[in-house]
Amino acid sequence: MHFNLSEERKMLKESCDRLLNDHYTQYKNHHEVSSSEIGFNKNFWEECSEIGMLSALISPNFNGLGGTGEDIMIVFELIGKHLVVEPFLSSGILSITSLTNSKDIETSVLDEISSASKIYAFGHSEVDTRYDETHIKTKANYKNDAVFLTGQKSFVLNGDFADKLICTARFSGNDFDQNGFGLYEIDKTHCDIRSYNTIDGYRAAELNFSEIPAKELCKNSDAYNALLETLYAGAFALSAESIGAMEVCFNMTLEYLKTREQFGKPIGSFQALQHRMVDVMIEIEQAKSAVMLAAGTYEADKDTKYKNISAAKNLVGRAGKLVAEECIQLHGGIAMTWEYNLHNYAKRLVMIDHLMGDSDHHLEKFKLYSNY
Amino acid sequence: MDFNFTQDENNFRKEIKDWLSKNLSQRISNKVKKFQRLDKNDYEEFMKALSAKGWLAVNWPKEHGGTGWSNTQKHIFEEEIVKAGAPRIVPFGLNMLGPVLMEFGNEKQKKYYLPRILNCDDWWAQGYSEPGSGSDLASLRTKAVDHGDHYIVNGQKTWTTLGQFANKIFCLVKTDTNCKPQNGISFLLIDIDSPGIEVRPIITLDGEHEVNEVWLKDVKVPKENLLGEENKGWTYAKYLLTHERTGIAGVPNSKSAINHLKVIANKTYKNGKPLIQDPLFSSQIAELEIDLKAMEIFNLRAISSAESGKAPVMESSLLKIKGSIIRQKTSDLLRKAIGPQALPYISEQFDEGWNQETIGPEYAGPLAKQYFIYRKISIYGGSNEIQKNIVAKSEFRM
């Protein structure tokens, strides 16, 4: 038993961290990036691709260089640390996982993603889906050899600038059935798109479409399995991202406690604040441990994998909220400003709990997979 | 990263398990599982069996008759003895005094005392806390006055766990009062049979006798019973805190308590369905289970970093805090799981051989009592607040 990274993975981590340190200007520009025309920095996205940060998310079976739980954890912890708004979740983990779990996918499709030549987005949520896994109202209509989609998809990350969209749609059964839906690829030029910024500095879109041509990727139990894999991959990546962001919040707060003086001494000398910092520290270590376990069992049987990801996402949701709230409180007034960078991290930590299932959702799933 | 135990470690676990199944008596494990009172012989029977096997001193190096086990092996051993329902290995001689003797005792002391600990000839008690010195231990006032070849000791120690069974007590005493409190403390090894010592029971809120007061009035202690140097006792006392404390989180205990909780939540009913199917209650169990699983990994991370030579001081404090919260929360849910069945309190139920009918199911009897006594976990061994001070001092450098 050991918890160290292999030499190769240490190198991956170091080179990604270096690139992000040197080239990523997240600070004041965080919301400027998402307010730009495409919602992220395309040059930087290409640089990430060049150093293999995208290939690290793809299994060697699909011409990638990684794709294991550990690889995903490393990349996404750094994304959290540097608050990267580029489409690592949408065109990265969600699209990659849904495609590699579809049938007869050609490796060249994944190459388009890893080389940053095409941006993909993944659309599953609808306006009242909340976190339900199979609540799908968008219709797929098969006519002869072709299929056409009608409906709407909500909160589609990078849905406005993506070249390709993967979405879920139902061709039979009730709104909640596990059967009777498929994964389809559609072209965004056929969609009515309303794009917007998110409160944590990302870009998302509402998509409306009617009887537009689509390409089937998989359906029925294949689609259900691919969807679960995708949602869990996203939940896992976000959990790892949260760890990176929590650590930054903690360090910023610690630094502030040492330098900010009131009553003639650093506020960090007050026991009431020290003890709260230790509580925060404990929960970060706990969350980190849960994410490591999820990473270590990412390749295990599905029940174990999903159980541990749900545990991690639940814990990260609780810990992330604690870290965000406590770090703001321990800072005091300065943390309420737009100018001071903490709010970007705090917002991301809290909003991560609004993506791919919140802590309540994953507590229920944990019970399901633990046979309560 | 690798979350698996090695084949050797799995074999080791099996060896422990097999041995326990043959050598831990059913009589004792039944008492432990029913939370019945253990007497001196119950503890000693199990510890002597371990001693004969060479497995008693898990934290000792081989040269002193210890197992020389790795931290991972110790962890596996701790898990298995808890699972088997063994009484706890009384730690005062083995885990507290033993390592201090090895590091700071003279040859004569080591030669005399260590084998006696190993053979269960001596039962040691810990004489640290005093009525006026809890968290602020260095403020202790028990005084040892130099009388040439011996000291005369006066004072009072308290919270002396299982002191009623002890024949020896190691005490922190003041030998110099004209300096910083920490610099005037010495470490004495004292016979409890010495004239002037009286051990009085303290009955705790659960109605049980586990801890004691120890009164020392003009007790004569030969100078050869001074451990290490005079006035260096604080260093020796602190040495223990930096010593490996892999078991501090109580992971195996919490694991078995949560399993017990799930069993009980399957047997009690709400709205005609097992309580475990109640969304409100099961969510609380699930959250606890998630926290415990994370802490288990956190604990293993600390063990594995200790294996590579890094003393997990900060981790020990964090794990002690989280471990106490989880154990207390589990006992809280156990109490709630049985509803009004938590009320009956029949003290005789916890005596060996009691065979009358319980009120409600047998498992209900100890649960409220356990809940109350488990409040101690966040108080003893350096309260959670003291642990936070330790972390803040060592990690925040403020």
Whole-number Å distance between alpha carbons of A307 and A323? 24
| pLDDT surpasses 70 at A27 | no
Who among A258, A289, A308 is closest to B298 (CB)? A289
Could you tell me if B227 and B188 are in contact, meaning their C-beta atoms sit under 8 angstroms apart?
yes
pLDDT computed for residue B47 by the predictor: 98
A106 Cβ contact list (under 8 Å, min separation 6): none
**Is the pLDDT score of A269 beyond 90?**
yes
Cβ contact, residue pair B295, A363, below 8 Å: no
Distance from CA of B110 to the nearest CA of A (A): 35
Place of tokens 């002690």: B320
Contact B145/A at CB under 8 A: no
pLDDT tens for B330-375 read 999 999 999 999 999 999 999 998 989 999 999 999 999 999 999 9
Determine the Cα–Cα distance for residues B22 and A50; give it in Å rounded to an integer.
62
Q: How far apart are CA A99 and CA A184, in angstroms?
A: 10
Asked whether the predicted pLDDT for residue A177 surpasses 60, the reply is yes
- Quick check: B392 and A290 CB within 8 A? no
pLDDT per residue as tens, chain B (398 positions): 888 899 999 999 999 999 999 999 999 999 999 999 999 999 999 999 999 999 999 999 999 999 999 989 999 999 999 999 999 999 999 999 999 999 999 999 999 999 999 999 999 999 999 999 999 999 999 999 999 999 999 999 999 999 999 999 999 999 999 999 999 999 999 999 999 999 999 999 999 999 999 999 999 999 999 999 999 999 999 887 666 566 789 999 999 999 999 999 999 999 999 999 999 999 999 999 999 999 999 999 998 888 887 778 899 999 999 999 999 999 999 999 999 999 999 999 999 989 899 999 999 999 999 999 999 999 998 899 999 999 999 898 87
Q: Which residues contact A277 (CB under 8 A, 6 or more apart)?
A: A250, A253, A254, A257, A268, A326, A330, B392, B396
Provide the percentage of residues in chain A whose pLDDT is more than 70: 98
Of A2, A254, A293, the CB nearest to B396: A254
Fold classification of B123-231 (topology level): Butyryl-CoA Dehydrogenase, subunit A; domain 2 (2.40.110)
Q: State how far the Cα of A182 lies from the Cα of B55, in Å rounded to an integer.
A: 60
Q: Do A290 and B297 touch (CB under 8 A)?
A: yes
- Domain B244-396, CATH 3.40.50.1860 — does that match? no
CA-nearest residue of chain A to B396?
A: A254
Q: Is B398 on the interface with A (CB under 8 A)?
A: yes
B348 close contact with A: CB closer than 8 A: no
CB contact under 8 A, B388 and A278: yes
Chain-chain contact of B391 with A271 (C-beta, under 8 angstroms):
no
Domains of chain A (ranges plus CATH)? 7-118 (1.10.540.10), 121-219 (2.40.110.10), 225-369 (1.20.140.10)
Tell me if A274 and B392 make a contact (CB, 8 A cut-off). Answer: yes
Q: Which of A8, A250, A285 to mutate to test the interface with B (most CBs of B within 10 A)?
A: A285
**Closest CB to A289 among B294, B321, B397:** B294
Residues 309 through 338 of chain B touching chain A, CB cutoff 8 Å: 315, 318, 321-322
Pairing state between β B168-174 and B124-127: parallel
CB contact under 8 A, A278 and B321: yes
A56-75: string of b/e by CB count within 10 Å (b at 16+)? bbbbeebebbbbbbbbbbbb
Taking the C-alpha atoms of residue A200 and residue A85, their distance in angstroms, rounded to an integer, is 9
Maximum alpha-carbon separation in chain A: 80
Q: What is the distance between the alpha carbons of residues B281 and B333, in angstroms, rounded to a whole number?
A: 9
Looking at the complex, does the CB of residue A280 fall below 8 Å from at least one CB of chain B? no
Q: Which residue from B285, B290, B318 is facing A314, i.e. has the nearest CB?
A: B290
* Contact yes or no for A117/A110 (Cβ under 8 A): no
Q: In whole angstroms, what is the distance from residue B205 CA to residue B195 CA? A: 31
Q: Which residue of A has its CA nearest to B298?
A: A289
Q: Chain B partners of A296 at a C-beta cutoff of 8 Å? A: 1-3
Instruction: List the domain boundaries for chain B.
Output: 7-89, 123-231, 244-396
- pLDDT value at residue A102: 95
Q: Looking at beta carbons, which residues of chain B come within 8 Å of A274?
A: 388-389, 392, 396, 398
Please check whether residue A278 touches B, CB under 8 A.
Answer: yes
Q: Which tokens in the block code for residue A262?
A: 């009131």
CB < 8 Å to A319, chain B:
none
Which chain B residue has the Cα nearest residue A258? B398
CB A207 within 8 A of CB A156: yes
**From A285, A293, A363, residue closest to B3, measured CB to CB:** A293
Q: Which residues of A touch B385 (CB under 8 A)?
A: 275
**DSSP-based three-state secondary structure for A165:** strand
Contact call for B395 and A281, based on CB within 8 A: yes
Please state the φ and ψ torsions of residue B13, each to the nearest 5 degrees. Answer: -60, -40
| Structural contact between residues A181 and A228, judged by C-beta atoms closer than 8 angstroms | no
Q: Is B282 on the interface with A (CB under 8 A)?
A: yes
Q: Would you put residue B158 in left (φ > 0), alpha (ψ -120 to 50) or beta?
A: beta
pLDDT on residue B288 = 98
Render pLDDT for A90-143 as a digit per residue (tens, 0 to 9): 999 999 999 999 988 999 999 999 999 999 999 999 999 999 999 999 999 999
Question: Nearest CB to A70: which of B1, B283, B398?
Answer: B1
Q: Residue A25 has what pLDDT? A: 65
Q: Which token pair is A315?
A: 């814990």
SS (H, E, C) chain B: CECCCCHHHHHHHHHHHHHHHHHCCHHHHHHHHCCCCCCHHHHHHHHHHHHHHCCCCCCCCHHHCCCCCCHHHHHHHHHHHHHHCCCCCCHHHHHHHHHHHHHHCCHHHHHHHHHHHHCCCCCEEEECCECCECCCHHHCCCEEEECCCEEEEEEEECCCCCHHHCCEEEEEEECCCCCCHHHHEEEEEEECCCCCEEEEEEECCCCCEEEEEEEEEEEEEEHHHEECCCCCHHHHHHHHHHCCCCCCCCHHHHHHHHHHHHHHHHHCEECCEEHHHCHHHHHHHHHHHHHHHHHHHHHHHHHHHHHCCCCCHHHHHHHHHHHHHHHHHHHHHHHHHCHHHHCCCCHHHHCCCCCCCCCCCHHHCCHHHHHHHHHHHHCCCCCHHHHHHHHHHHHHCC
Check residue A126 and give its pLDDT: 96
The two structure tokens encoding residue A81? 């640390």
User: Is residue A26 scored above 60 in pLDDT?
Assistant: no
pLDDT, mean over chain A: 95
Chain B interface includes A292 (CB < 8 A): yes
- Residues B14-60 pLDDT 10s: 999 999 999 999 999 999 999 999 999 999 999 999 999 999 999 99
Amino acid in the structure at residue A233 = A
Pair of tokens at residue B52? 């004969």
Tokens of B143: 């005084």
ipTM of this complex: 0.95
**pLDDT band (50, 70, 90) for residue A2:** confident
